[in-house]
Amino acid sequence: MMRSVGAVLTVLVALVVIWYAAAVWMNSGWALGQAEKRGEVLSFSQLVVETMDQKRPRLPTPHQVFGELWDTTVEKKVTSKRSLVFHGWITLQSTLWGFALGVVVGILLAVAIVYSRVMELSVMPWAVISQTIPIVALAPMIIVLASSAGIEGRGVPKAIISAYLCFFPVLVGMVKGLRSPSRDQLDLMRTYGASGAEVFWKLRMPASVPYLFASLKIGIAAALVGTIVGELPTGAIRGLGARILIGDQFGNPIMIWSALFAAAILAGGLVILFGVIERLTLRRMGAAR
């Protein structure tokens, strides 16, 4: 455990060093150009200093990105339009709605597939095909459809895109989970005289829980990707994806990078959260090792 923490830290430090080196290399063009205009010749150490704090760098340095992150989360009021907490909250809401929708659809389809051969044969191949369709091609369409159906705002279309991305892992995991009870276990239920509903609630459902959690962790990450994809090409003005978009339009790389890192932190937090819930639930069920 300790050894792997050390290894991860070493790799992280190495990445930061590479990042600084890349920043010097990528930002030096602009710095040299400026110096030439002023008729100066930069020594190497001056050049390095010049590349660290440019206003519009090609590659912002780590301290610029994390400075901006600190600035826009802790220093700003949560309600401010410039606060990343505010934009993160918008993104998190759509993510959770889409996630909930995707999980419900995924579980219902899985139950239908497990109990009906017609459903399995008709729906399963299309569920696979639906995932090979690049969702981003559909994203602008979903927004047009939603607005013409009289739905205001971007929350609903974003949630639909999230649901589209996250229902599939849930579906696959739940089909596997609901089918995981063995012949013996099903036969035992029959000798108890259990009804179909009892077999479902007392055997199939509990047996599928570990599979469900594995899928939920993939699903929540997919839902966040869906929301950000939903915000990117559609001219949204609120949300982390919108921050990336606006940063791009105003030529402000620091803004893009800080929004990206905020999204990464959000994704990591959500996955860890579901990992903790998984561990607690499985322990309550007596399944944890």
Under the criterion CB under 8 A, does residue 109 sit at the interface with other proteins? no
When the beta carbons of 125 and 206 are compared against other proteins, the nearer one is 125
Residue selected from 18, 78, 104, 136 as contacting other proteins according to rule CB under 8 A: 136
User: 90, exposed or middle or buried, with CB in 10 Å at 0-12, 13-18, 19+?
Assistant: buried
When the beta carbons of 125 and 153 are compared against other proteins, the nearer one is 125
- The rounded radius of gyration (Å) of the Cα atoms in the chain is 25
When the beta carbons of 109 and 189 are compared against other proteins, the nearer one is 109
Shortest distance, CB of residue 252 to other proteins, whole angstroms?
11
Distance CA 217, CA 203 (A): 23
Under the criterion CB under 8 A, does residue 141 sit at the interface with other proteins? yes
Stretch that binds other proteins, among 100-108, 177-185, 217-225, 273-281 (CB under 8 A): 217-225
Distance CA 159, CA 119 (A): 25
Contact in structure between 173 and 214 (CB atoms under 8 Å): yes
Q: Is 76 helix (H, G, I), strand (E, B) or coil?
A: coil
Shortest distance, CB of residue 75 to other proteins, whole angstroms?
23
The values of phi and psi at residue 273, to 5°, are: -55, -45
Nearest to 164 by CA among 112, 106, 89: 106
Stretch that binds other proteins, among 27-35, 134-142, 151-159, 182-190 (CB under 8 A): 134-142
Residues 221-260 contacting other proteins, CB under 8 A: 221, 224-225, 228-229, 232-233, 240-241, 244-245, 247-248, 253, 256-257, 259-260
With tokens 């959690």, the residue in question is 213
Contact in structure between 230 and 241 (CB atoms under 8 Å): yes
Around Cβ 206, how many Cβ atoms within 10 Å? 13
Axis-axis angle for helices 84-115, 155-178 (nearest 10): 40
Residues 146-205 contacting other proteins, CB under 8 A: 148
DSSP state of 201: I
Under the criterion CB under 8 A, does residue 213 sit at the interface with other proteins? no
Under the criterion CB under 8 A, does residue 8 sit at the interface with other proteins? yes
Shortest distance, CB of residue 261 to other proteins, whole angstroms?
10
Torsion of CA 194, 197, 202, 206, to 10 degrees: 150
The sign of the dihedral angle between the CA atoms of 273, 276, 278, 280 is negative
Residue selected from 10, 46, 80, 182 as contacting other proteins according to rule CB under 8 A: 10
Beta strands in the chain (DSSP E): none
Binding mask 113-132 for other proteins (x = CB under 8 A): ----xx--xxxxxx-xx-xx
Shortest distance, CB of residue 230 to other proteins, whole angstroms?
11
Under the criterion CB under 8 A, does residue 45 sit at the interface with other proteins? no
Which residues lie near other proteins (CB under 8 A)? 3-4, 7-12, 15, 26, 58, 117-118, 121-126, 128-129, 131-138, 140-141, 144-145, 148, 218, 221, 224-225, 228-229, 232-233, 240-241, 244-245, 247-248, 253, 256-257, 259-260, 263-264, 267-268, 271
